[in-house]
Amino acid sequence: MYHLFTRRIAVAAACLLPLAAMSMPTHSLAAHKAAAPFRAGLRVGVVLDVGGLDDKGFNHMAYLGAQAAQKQYGITFKYVQTTTSSDALYYANLATFARQGYDLVFGIGFLMEPAMYKVAKAYPKVHFGIVDGAPTDAKGNTVNLPNVANLFFREQESGYLVGYMAGLMEKSKVGAATHNVIGAMGGLSIPPVNRYIAGYYQGARAADPSVKIILQYSNSFTNQNISDSIGLSQISKNADILFAVAGGAGLGYLKAAQTKNVYGIGVDSDQAYLGSYMMTSAVKRVDEAVLQTIGALATGKFKAGDNSFNLSTNATGYGTVGAMVPKSIAAQVAARAKLIASGKLVPTTVIPKK
């Protein structure tokens, strides 16, 4: 599956803005208006990945998107939580909804690519959406199917902005950011995770070329104990800011930041609720992508193949900025967000080798 990385990077190359600094686009979830007329009564199934509904991020955001669509488009929806990463289990969960004649079935996660290919071929009259991926055949080749919407994000935009903030904090030696060292932890080394991290590297070094970045992977999206250990290890090596890109496992990594009185950066959803030690979050609005895809089907505008979600569609960026961040730094980050939104700044998708 990993030989698909190059293709993913090409697709991605093809942000929630700071709430206090920039106004939300008019098509945000709160302001999204259902086009009229639209087809009411759609049945939507959502297959969550490991980590489940309570991961406080990726999966939970997909659920919130379906909830919003329920209110705005009159859909009914059900979800199922996947307990282990298994092609057979992914297929079984997706096929359960397809067999029951659901109008649209979502697979939430890159790891469902092979299962998505099989189920979409088996049920060509059912519409599907896959977050962070596209159907792949038995040889690992990407195959765009006429009934599958591939929902990709420019996570590198979000990563760049939080990395730029971290770099400025270290350069200015604000609060706990005194060692010119920052950390990052990915769950698995897969394209959507690595796009976040690539942007983080680029943004941090754009702000402070001398900053040191420690990167490790937990090899899990659920194991908080391992992630906590990684966080404590990085802090012992003088990391002042920890960026978690590991779903539910990231909560353990961020706990280490809280325990040792350094700063945390969340991922996917706005994780400011975790505490005052949270500097910000790199946001990926899976909820917005789910809502927009359901809306497209309801209004007869469903688009199969690659769909890109980014700053201009309110799907990437950063969340609440912590009180420890000076207004001058917040303003500089907001200015970078504007450059990204305008296309004048294009964050990278490639993690540097050193």
How high is the pLDDT of residue 21?
Answer: 34
Domain positions in the chain are 23-154+286-313, 155-285+316-342
Same CATH topology for 23-154+286-313 and 155-285+316-342: the answer is yes
Task: Say if CB 191 and CB 130 are below 8 A apart.
Answer: no
DSSP 320: P
Answer whether residue 8 shows pLDDT above 80. no
The proportion of the chain whose per-residue pLDDT surpasses 70, expressed as a percent, equals 90
40 vs 337: which has the higher pLDDT: 337
CA distances from 317 to 156, 269, 271 (A): 9, 10, 13
Tell me how far CA of residue 63 lies from CA of 68, 85, 108, 118, 279, in angstroms.
9, 19, 10, 24, 25
CB 302 within 8 A of CB 296: yes
Please write the tens of the pLDDT for every residue from 189-240: 999 999 999 999 999 999 999 999 999 999 998 899 999 999 999 999 999 9
CATH of 155-285+316-342, one of 3.30.420.130, 3.30.70.120, 1.20.58.2240, 3.40.50.2300: 3.40.50.2300
Distances (CA, A) of 350 to 113, 196, 201: 22, 10, 9
Residue 80 clears pLDDT 70, i.e. is over it: yes
Q: What is the mean pLDDT of residues 83-88?
A: 92
For residue 5, pLDDT over 80 is answered with no
Give the mean pLDDT of 105-113.
95
pLDDT band at 90 (very low <50, low <70, confident <90, very high): very high
The whole-number pLDDT of residue 260 equals 98
Rounded alpha-carbon distances, angstroms, from residue 11 to 139, 159, 195, 291: 20, 17, 11, 21
DSSP of 30-92: TT----SS-----EEEEEE-TT-TTSSSHHHHHHHHHHHHHHHH--EEEEEE--S--HHHHHH
Q: Is the pLDDT of residue 11 over 50?
A: no
Read off the pLDDT band of 251 (50, 70, 90).
very high
Q: Tell me the average pLDDT across 326-344.
A: 96
Residue range 11-35: mean pLDDT, rounded: 38
Predicted confidence (pLDDT) per residue in 264-322, tens digit: 999 999 999 999 999 999 999 999 999 999 999 999 999 999 999 999 888 999 999 99
23-154+286-313: in CATH 3.40.50.2300:
yes
For residue 106, pLDDT beyond 80: yes
Rg of the chain taking only CA atoms, in angstroms = 19
Structure tokens of 126? Answer: 């059912």
pLDDT of residue 36: 57
pLDDT confidence band for 135 (50 / 70 / 90):
very high
Query: Which position has the higher pLDDT, 205 or 26?
Result: 205
For residue 13, pLDDT beyond 90: no
Q: What pLDDT is recorded for position 297?
A: 98
Q: How does pLDDT run across 152-177, given as a tens digit for each residue?
A: 999 999 999 999 999 999 999 999 99
Q: Give the mean model confidence (pLDDT) for residues 14-23.
A: 34
Residue 342 Cα distances to 152, 285, 312, 313, 346, angstroms: 19, 19, 9, 12, 9
CA distance 38 to 18: 33
The overall average pLDDT reported for the chain is: 90
